[in-house]
Structure 1
Amino acid sequence: MSDTADRVLWGCTTARTIRAHWALHELGLRYRCEPILPRSGETQTSRYTAVNPRQKIPALQDGDFTITESAAIINYLSATYGRDGNRLVPTDPRGRARYDEWCFFIVCELDATSLYILRRHVGLPQVYGEAPTAVEAATTYFQKQVQTVAAALDDGRRWLLGEAFSGADMLLTTCLDWALRYELPLTNGLLAFRDRATARPAYAAAQQANRPEYWKI
């Protein structure tokens, strides 16, 4: 395991980088951040390419170990530093399987397949071009898929896995944040879930840490 001085998170400002900041704060881990931004040229420098050849953020360096992809970072941190009472990933086989099921669904169906389409063609048309048909289809698809999440939460559970908060809840919350920025309607149950998640102190700390100016004081 690394010394605190060797724990470095690269990246800030995005819905994906905040997940890594959030996990670090949930686990009470000290770290420093290199607050590089997407589409700024900072991810394409030789310095960062040596960290992540894919030139995407976030990336976490923990001593001599480097891990990328926000969900993978959450899982690694929980497995390495989580203890009873604050683990972000279940350790029993069926609990882990259910966790993986939710994470794969959220990352693939809510994030990449629908919300990221809106990010590209609504938020960044100057980079990716306008694509109204793709935006309409992605919006419809998101609404269909997020309804399955709403239906699961309707049984009264506090979090996706029941009473235990997990990394899956972090992934879902960031997607709901993203959806609200694009003014997509959410059910009362989804909004209540988001309220519970965003009320966590670690979420507030991660919001601050996800801003570049926080690291430049």
Structure 2
Amino acid sequence: MNPELVLWGVGTSRTIRPHWALHELKLSYTRKPILPRTGETETPEYTALNPRQKVPLLQDHTLVIGESAAIIAYLAKTYPNQAASLIPKDSETYAKWLEWCFFIVTELDSTSLYVMRRHGQIKGLSHIYGDAPGVVAQAAEYFRKQLKHVDAALSDGREYLLGEQFTTADILLTTCLTWAIDYQVAICDSATPYLDRVLNRPAYRDASAANKPG
């Protein structure tokens, strides 16, 4: 338990990631339910913590760290427990974990889904960044193409991306898959039973509640 942990941010596919990791690791924390693009990330108080004015953001005593993938990796490294370590211990599996994390964040999240969010009309930000249906269509197609890598891995019947151990890579992948579904992008067949397993984790349900505004 660490009462000094403070998590800023709710309401998005990226902010749920640290909430989820905190609940998997059974860590207590103070929740700061601010939302992006509401002015709440632009206050002097928050800007002093994070000049980028983005969420999520984690405070751990004097440490301040942003970027959802970095936050959950930090938490898993710093506060492992017997119930959930979230990071592989042996070097070979650790290397594969790194590969999955970078792949998901770059190819599925920022290159595909966030492009759709910026320029799409379905739960998107086209009113800010401009409507670009052709770009959105290409981003969706790119997402489906990259998802073949996930399909190939999950098709062997493994429980999680790295086998029997649930890791932060699963947190990243699950949020991308649910994000894609929200955007009406078809996911691969092998991801459906995978999602059923992961979304039934008690920590996910608790994190979903914690990630709600208010």
Equivalent-residue separation in structure 2 for 1:193 and 1:108 (angstroms): 21
Equivalent-residue separation in structure 2 for 1:18 and 1:40 (angstroms): 18
Partner of 2:95: 97
SS at match of 1:29: coil
Q: How many residues align?
A: 211
Partner of 1:206: 207
Tell me the amino acid that sits aligned with residue 71 of structure 2: I
1:83 positional shift: 2.2
Equivalent-residue separation in structure 1 for 2:2 and 2:48 (angstroms): 21
C-alpha distance after superposition, 1:17-74 (max 9, x if no partner):
0000000000000111111100111111111111111111000001111111111111
1:160 positional shift: 0.4
Equivalent-residue separation in structure 1 for 2:94 and 2:69 (angstroms): 14
* Uncovered stretches (5+) of structure 2, i.e. residues with no partner: none
Q: TM-score, normalised by structure 2?
A: 0.95
Equivalent-residue separation in structure 1 for 2:26 and 2:197 (angstroms): 19
Partner of 2:194: 193
Matches within 5 A, 1:24-43: 24-43=22-41
RMSD: 1.1
Partner of 1:140: 141
Structure 2 residue 21 is matched with structure 1 residue 20? no
Contact 1:153–1:189 (CA<8 Å) still a contact in 2? yes
Change (3 A) 1:196 1:3: closer
SS at match of 1:9: strand
Tell me the amino acid that sits aligned with residue 87 of structure 2: V
Partner of 2:53: 55
Equivalent-residue separation in structure 2 for 1:146 and 1:63 (angstroms): 38
Partner of 1:125: 126
Q: For structure 1, which segment, 186-195 or 176-185, has the greater mean C-alpha deviation from structure 2 after superposition?
A: 186-195
Q: TM-score, normalised by structure 1?
A: 0.94
Equivalent-residue separation in structure 2 for 1:186 and 1:79 (angstroms): 30
Contact 1:75–1:167 (CA<8 Å) still a contact in 2? yes
Write 1 or 2 for the structure with the bigger share of helix: 1
Equivalent-residue separation in structure 1 for 2:183 and 2:2 (angstroms): 40
Aligned-pair identity in percent equals: 55
Tell me the amino acid that sits aligned with residue 69 of structure 1: E
C-alpha distance after superposition, 1:153-173 (max 9, x if no partner):
101111000010000000000
Contact 1:3–1:63 (CA<8 Å) still a contact in 2? no
1:3 positional shift: 4.5
Structure 2 residue 11 is matched with structure 1 residue 10? no
Equivalent-residue separation in structure 1 for 2:5 and 2:81 (angstroms): 19
Contact 1:17–1:70 (CA<8 Å) still a contact in 2? yes
Equivalent-residue separation in structure 1 for 2:205 and 2:82 (angstroms): 23
Runs of 4+ in 1 over 6 A off after TM superposition: none
Equivalent-residue separation in structure 2 for 1:205 and 1:68 (angstroms): 22
